[in-house]
Amino acid sequence: MKVEYINPFIEASQTVLKQTANIDAKLGNVFLKTSPFKSDCVVIIVGLTGKIRGQAMFSMPKKVALDIASAMMGGTPLAQLDEMSKSAISELSNMILGNAATILYSKGIGIEITPPSLLMGDNLQISPAKMKTICIPLIFNDGQQMEIDISVMD
């Protein structure tokens, strides 16, 4: 995958996390994942079509999802991922990918995104078929981490 495809996802993620949850996300070491790979217990999957075909997956531990949803909802303490908090983190993925799509479009790369799907469970295993997956780790709040996995067709 081309670097000019990845940078808009990084830029959009950092911008949206700062604007919606006041989180300063630092970029970890970007790397290529091999399929199948394990994922944390909360995963939001969004399809990508157009010039880039594949999917974006936002993966995080439940505690990180709760903390992000809480920050997005004005700091309300959350004990569990209810419908409102699931909706908040799903909307976060929508906003990040919408921003990334706008950045890509300005570079002549048109993409569309599908509505997000949220998955929860222990020991999730993901196998993107016939796609390469780039992992973008974002680190914030004393070591908390969210991974954005971008899987694209060759």
Instruction: Retrieve residue 83's tokens.
Output: 């419908």
Length of the chain as a residue count:
154
End-to-end CA distance of the chain: 8
* Higher per-residue confidence, 19 vs 33: 19
pLDDT band for 84, please (50, 70, 90 cuts).
very high
Residue with tokens 């680190």: 139
Give the model confidence (pLDDT) of 106-143 as tens digits.
999 999 999 999 999 887 778 777 788 899 999 998 88
Query: Can you give the CATH number for the domain in which 99 is found?
Result: 3.40.1550.10
CA distance 98 to 88: 15
Query: CA 134, CA 100: separation in Å to the nearest integer?
Result: 15
Q: Structural domain tally of the chain?
A: 1
- For residue 2, pLDDT over 80 is answered with no
pLDDT at res. 107: 92
Question: What is the pLDDT, as a whole number, of residue 7?
Answer: 92
Does pTM top 0.75 for this prediction?
A: yes
Domain that holds residue 89: 3-153
